[in-house]
Structure 1
Amino acid sequence: MTGEGTDRFPETPPSTDIFTEDLLAGETALITGGGTGIGEQIALAFADHGADVAIASRSMDHLEPTADAIEQRGVDACATTVDVRDPDRVAEMVDTVEAELGPVSVLLNNAGANFLTPSEQLSTNGWRSVVGTILDGTAYCTFEVGERMIDRGGGVILSMGATNSVRGAPYYAHSGAGKAGVHNLMQSVAAEWARYGIRANTIAPGVIRTDGVMEVMDEATADQLVEEDLAADRLGTPADCVPMAVFLASPAAAYVTGSYFVVDGGQLLSPVPG
């Protein structure tokens, strides 16, 4: 069911060819922040492997082209706006998705926010905006969808973390703290909700070359990072995160919950001397 590629909407990354085309058939996936970057690429891959896919963000402008690309893969799509910091809007989003596509069986918490600032200059509003999107938004979506999954007897919850949540996040303290909270939240609900057939895991990318990342990182900084910190000798791409998400959403990961999966090109490794 692989879709035809374009510059913005490429075919499923070759690394997912190991999965059968119908691996996610019968699933309904909801992806926040699904109109751009990592979320967009995972949405397309879920569709390529048979899932109906809903995408949500604050702006419909980001969503409609991606929704069209999802439908071109031969599955159903839903695009809806949401501010994940508002639990009432989150509930409305899930109601809209389930009215159009049916019960959500896979949730991917991907909505995020970030900006560069020294910690001593981080304003209260700046903190609230970023942590509110990353941690509060993930919590509100998880609790809203999780309650419904409990009633239905199972589901999969995935959340996008980040490697800066485990090694400190200089100049991104708000983002690092929020992502650390996401990891703990996934572990907590994984332990509580396993009895209901719900699996919850965190995917932790390193530095991924997206438009959002490159807005806060110039090319010189990116080059320095690659040279000094990345064993893989390149920045990651959104496509690098896709196979992990497909695997964790699928029955192949039926015995995997509460875990933290790093996709960082070796950034967390100790540097090789010399």
Structure 2
Amino acid sequence: YDLRHLMIGAEGTLGIITAAVLKLFPRPRAYATAMVAVPSVGAALRLLHRLQDETGGAVEAFEYMPRSFLAALLQRFPQMRPPFEKPYDVNVLVELGARAPRDVTPDATGAVPISVHLEAVLAGFYEEGLILDAVVAQSEAQRAEIWARREASAQILRVRRPVVENDIAVATDQMEELIARIQSVSQAIDSDIENTGVAHLGDGNLHYVGWPSRDDPALCRAVQEAVEREVIALGGSFSAEHGIGLSKLPAMAAHKDPAALAMMRAIKAAVDPNGIMNPGKLIPDQ
């Protein structure tokens, strides 16, 4: 039994971690960062695979931002510039990282090879029709401006109320279908709901946000449960990267295998018989 791995994901319900050992990796010595507009989510995933092939697996980030997210961003932060002259439905933040001297040493004009390579690759994809538009950062300031849009997500997605949130994941080839299903089921419950969110597209991890038309807890829960059912139907997970805590206890009770929950309760009782380790979290009541 690997007791270390038993602690991972236990969210403090089995004990307190007092020390940790980290495995470090070299930080890239140069980045190439771009905003790219594509015809669809499926095209975005094809773009990811092609970029990985063209760059030897150098993709460090691949972040999905739909038109609805960028519209909400610009409404909340009007001082920010839109990424393109006209809006597109599917937008992706792409970042490559390089460590080899041949990829990071500027040439006589000051151009960094990894950025030059990204521009050339995207130009070829544009000619093929795989992408609709692209802007490659030419300085650290421009790179920071691109990242500022993605990093502002929490400030725009959660400040508006009422709000429905789901941290969910599916296989990457199911993401386009999931987004379409969410749009359908949420509007069937509330025809005036506004859907948005962002995604770590290369991981199949979607941070869905819905803004219902009225502040009704039952309505919000109905939307959240409908989204969870679509995720499960596609073989995905109702909890991707943010843990269970308290907010996802109903989902655990509804979707987790009863045998798995029984085993979790048995382990909890054996390791923490007095129930003092982060009580009430992770494992739903019977």
Q: Quickly name the TM-score band, shorter chain normalised.
A: under 0.3
Q: Radius of gyration: which is bigger?
A: 2
Q: TM-score, normalised by structure 1?
A: 0.23
Q: TM-score, normalised by structure 2?
A: 0.22
Higher relative contact order (CA 8 A, sep 6+): 2
